[in-house]
Amino acid sequence: MLAAVFTRARTRRRVRSVFPQRTQMWKSVRIASRDWMADERTPAQRPVPYLTREEVERFFRAIPQRNLRDRLLFDLIYRHGLRRGEAAHLTLDDVRGGKIWIARLKRGVPGGYPLHPRSKQLLRAYVRVRPADACDYLFRGRRRTAAPLSGGEINRLFREYATAAQVPESRRHVHVLRHSIGVHLMNAAWDIADVQDWLGHRHISSTMIYAQVTNQRREARYKATLRSREIARTDGR
């Protein structure tokens, strides 16, 4: 019996010496799994950087009320998940009849979308004060030119307001608004195919990243399941 004990001990040592990295890997996986279940990750730690609803509202409070151009610019970027190039190249004809036409970049799917009532209000106020000139772009660049507002200037403005709103440094880039609306729509119980359509994704795999960063819909579905009579009982009654 003593010989058998020594044999088992030698076998365990041999296995650990042959697979030290694999043993360490599984330890790391178990620890990471426990950490994931123990506490919720913060938005900055999640795979897709996004702003919470409260952070987005704080960002918009940092934009002066009188600055109609910037309020409309970032309202459209957030509500429609616009990339900065898509926002920069919007024309006056793209926002008519209560709708917005978006020519998507990165091989995205173009389309027309309804404007939010707040967007319509900002648009009417902005158009009234926007200079009537030869520039066809909604957000004009330098004075006396027909060029649109540049993507670099859009990002600079976002950083300025995000800093004033105390948004974490790692999320002070305008693309975070596109990620934010994707997550917020998923939290609002939109079907993933509808989020795909709203953001102009050609492939639904691009939309899946927003489903992976939020547990809100999963938890809501689970609570609904607890009240359902369709799930079998397991208590033997």
The one catalytic residue among 58, 69, 99, 173: 99
The one catalytic residue in 210, 221, 222, 223 is 210
For this structure, is 83 an active site residue? yes
End-to-end CA distance of the chain: 48
Which residue do the tokens 């730690």 mark?
Answer: 45
Gyration radius of the chain over CA positions: 26
- Tell me whether residue 78 is one of the annotated catalytic residues: no
- For residue 195, the one-letter residue type is V
Residue 210 bears catalytic tag: yes
Q: Which of 58, 116, 130, 175 is catalytic?
A: 175
**Euclidean distance between CA atoms 141 and 147, whole angstroms:** 5
Active site residue 99: yes
State the amino acid at position 201 in one-letter form: H
Query: Considering 71, 79, 83, 89, which one is annotated as catalytic?
Result: 83
Active site (annotated) includes residue 178: yes
Of 66, 41, 63, 73, nearest in space to 148 by CA: 73
Classify residue 87 by burial, with Cβ atoms within 10 Å: 0-12, 13-18, 19+. Answer: buried
User: Which of the residues 178, 179, 184, 221 is marked catalytic?
Assistant: 178
Catalytic residues: 83, 99, 175, 178, 201, 210
